[in-house]
Amino acid sequence: MVNGENKGIRHSFRITNDAFATGTDKRLVNHKTYHFIAMAYAHNSWQEIDPQNFSLGGQFKPYLASRTNSTGSGITAYSAIPHDPTVEDGGTVVNSNYGDQPEITRIEGQGNGGIELKLTASSEDQIVANNFNNYPTYQAGYGPITVKVIDPLNVAAGTYKLQVLDSTLSSPAGNTLDDAYWRLLVPNAAGGIDTVISDVSIASRYEQMFLDQGLSVTLKQVVEPGVNFETNSGLLGASLSYSQQGVDWLGGAFDIDGENELNWIRSGNQTYDVPGATPPVLSGYNDYIVAGTHIDPNQNYENLLSGTWAPYALTASIIAGNGDNFALSGSKVNNAPGIIVGVPFNGVPKYYASITNNTKLNLANLQSVDIVFTSDKNKWTKSVVFETGVDTGKTENNAWPFDKRRVPSVDKNFNAVDTSVVRDAHGNPSMGMSWFPGYAVNVETGERLNIAFGEDSGLPNDNGRDMQLNPSARRFDFDTAAFQLDTVLGGRHYVYILNTRYDESKEFDSLISIPRTFPTGISVTKSIRDAVANQVIWTGIPMTNQGESWLSSDATVQLRVEKPYEMFTTANSSNTEPIGNATRPMYQFNMDGFASLKNVLSVAEERLNTIKAVPNPYYAYSEYESGKLDTRIKITNLPEECVVSIYNVNGTLMRRFVKADPKTSLDWDLKNAVGIPVAGGMYLIHIDAEGIGEKIIKWYGVTRPTDLGGF
């Protein structure tokens, strides 16, 4: 049995090694014939058989081989000969390799099909400059669909378009695409477009080959994050990179499990309640559960970048309290970035909206994002700044936790704005607005995202009172009066990535400011705070690493999750089909740079120098021989049409071959024109390729006596 990768149906493979070769070098040998069989099989070994005692039962037939191939005919062996392809077709320039992938451009729709996406630099620049890019382009190998070269010699140039369709092939916008098909719009030689419908739906991973175009296409629908625990709950990965090598300045507050202040990511299946206690003793440190199921039981999201970033839905939060009691089961909550606390209503904090009270507590709204930290102020993001301090006796202007900072907004140089001129959406003086040093991008939709952050104004020594995202490197502080160790976490500069398109946080600020401006009651405050909470998708607690300087180079945090193919409107969506695709996913790619060039005379002339007779010298044996009575060498790297003449050193013509076929080699059985074996010695081989040139090579052979021992 073969231990397969179990990743769907593939139809193309790249083979580089000889599985039966001996020695350390198992690479395929050019011009040697190899034979292959593709066979489907079934395997089931639920219980191994004991050959000493069949009565114990088990799987008596663990392996069943297919009787037919994919077309229904018998199993057939296929032969292949590896060789240099540049000598073909009058001289060929090969511009691609098997597996090469083009850049993919999104035209409509969204999703990634379980593929990690990476934008090109120019596409990301457009998103940052315009807040949205209708047609983002993804780096080769990191696009939302898999298009790869399977035949480098046959790649057809041109621009291709792929459109995802519903199972009816013509569904209206709004339908789910779980069983969708797709069509490929293929440019043809006549300048028109051929339309090819996929063989199967995207419900299963399936590689569909386009042999005439030398490429294949693979799509696979996936589910939202947090649904399939067997596939990492949809997590694809997380990374941190810098624009300058040798620096590592961006750190964070690490999550630590247990009943402690640093357990700020509630991922896993831990419960710290006191069992059997009457009355119940409930812990505020339990990992989150919805409808009896833990959100992330396998802790897939707990260690992103060493536990410094997490989905907002998994972060610790305050349970509703009264007055200034912000305690979480007797513990401090200095580390709780998941808090969205209601602002005071008539001076009294009546409601603290906790993410634990949010009915949408799940991971499905996560998006794949790039979060970029940069000193380039042209790329900075206008942001709401929250108060993250919990001691109102120490916070500036006695601000409540997660109220907006109660100071005038600042400009990009962090100077206070003139609040008599700069007003918020409700006409009040602009308060609590600053600038995040960078930006965030939704790589699935091509949108720039809003960002919010916080600081603890009760920690001025850790940059908590300057309206800047500039955390210190200090994690703890010893409180001599209380004789205890307090968490500082760099000044508690919590960062919140929102799922809304960047509008300088106008809508977000407006929602937060409503209760302060219109104190109409606790229910209004609750609904507003829940709406605000539902916009947040990712949270982090950045800190400066010890010995490093904040923003000493650009840093990029990449957070990636699986997202299904879904509807998404772009400028192209207004067009009728097939130019538009009714907001369903649509992609474009160009293969011009992958197509090979043929009949290139300079290449054909240069490749004459690679013609060889192998093996040379010949010592009574070659790998190309099939038995004791077979003597054989190969003349390799020949053009399609040529005359090969073999002379002995006396100038006598021993054998002549007139070649007129695409095969790049020919066999000489070491016999002359009348079938008599030649003597050992030196021979001259002359190759005449009309219109290209001539080549003469020397070959030396030691022949062996005929072995008739087998007869």
Q: 50 exposed, middle or buried (CB, 10 Å; 0-12, 13-18, 19+)? A: exposed
Cα→Cα distances 509→495, 586, 686, Å: 15, 35, 83
pLDDT band (50, 70, 90) for residue 485: confident
**What b/e sequence results for 392-428 when a residue is b if at least 16 CB atoms lie within 10 Å of its CB, and e otherwise?**
beebbeebbbbbbbebbbbeeeeeebeeeeeebeeee
Distance CA 318, CA 333 (A): 7
Average pLDDT on 422-449 reads 93
Of 118-132, 149-163, 360-374, the one with minimum mean pLDDT is 360-374
Average pLDDT on 687-707 reads 91
Q: Is 111 a residue whose pLDDT tops 60?
A: yes
Q: Is 158 a residue whose pLDDT tops 80?
A: yes
Of 64-68, 87-91, 358-362, 509-513, the one with minimum mean pLDDT is 358-362
Q: What is the β-pairing status of strands 653-660 and 633-636?
A: unpaired
Token digits of residue 372: 């970029």
Domain boundaries, the chain: 104-222+567-594, 233-561, 602-702
pLDDT band (50, 70, 90) for residue 332: very low
Do 388 and 462 contact (CB within 8 A), yes or no?
A: no
Which of 3.30.2290.10, 3.90.226.10, 2.40.420.20, 2.60.40.1930 is the CATH number of 602-702? 2.60.40.1930
HEC sequence for 54-92: HHHCCCCCCEEECCECCCCCECCCEEECCCCHHHCCCCC
Nearest to 692 by CA among 659, 667, 668: 659
Please report the pLDDT score of residue 515 as a whole number: 52
Please report the pLDDT score of residue 519 as a whole number: 45
Token digits of residue 160: 């291709």
Nearest to 703 by CA among 633, 623, 627: 633
Q: Is 328 a residue whose pLDDT tops 60?
A: no
Please report the pLDDT score of residue 321 as a whole number: 38
Distance CA 135, CA 106 (A): 5
Please report the pLDDT score of residue 387 as a whole number: 87
CB count within 10 Å of CB 503 equals 14
Please report the pLDDT score of residue 361 as a whole number: 64
Alpha-helical segments (H) within 573-627 = 601-607
CB count within 10 Å of CB 544 equals 24
pLDDT band (50, 70, 90) for residue 440: very high
User: Angle at CA 617, nearest 5°, toward 613 and 623?
Assistant: 70
Q: Is 692 a residue whose pLDDT tops 90?
A: yes
Q: Is 358 a residue whose pLDDT tops 50?
A: no
Write the CB contacts of 603 (distance below 8 Å, at least 6 apart in sequence): 86, 91, 92, 93
Q: Give how far the C-alpha of residue 14 lies from the chain's centroid of Cα atoms, to the nearest Å.
A: 22
What's the one-letter identity of residue 307?
Answer: G
Please report the pLDDT score of residue 527 as a whole number: 53
pTM over 0.95: no
Token digits of residue 173: 């916008």
Please report the pLDDT score of residue 315 as a whole number: 85
- The model's pLDDT over 607-644, given as tens digits with 9 standing for 90+, comes to 999 999 999 999 998 888 888 888 999 999 999 999 99
Q: Is 264 a residue whose pLDDT tops 70?
A: yes
Of 161-170, 608-617, 692-701, the one with minimum mean pLDDT is 161-170
Q: Is 427 a residue whose pLDDT tops 50?
A: yes
Please report the pLDDT score of residue 341 as a whole number: 37
Please report the pLDDT score of residue 318 as a whole number: 53
Do 213 and 156 contact (CB within 8 A), yes or no?
A: yes
Token digits of residue 8: 């769907």
Cα→Cα distances 402→388, 392, 464, Å: 6, 11, 14
Nearest to 317 by CA among 530, 499, 542, 478: 530
Structure-token match 């739906």, residue found: 201
CA 100, 102, 103, 109: dihedral to nearest 10 degrees? -110
- The model's pLDDT over 522-569, given as tens digits with 9 standing for 90+, comes to 444 455 566 677 788 999 999 999 999 999 999 999 999 999 999 999
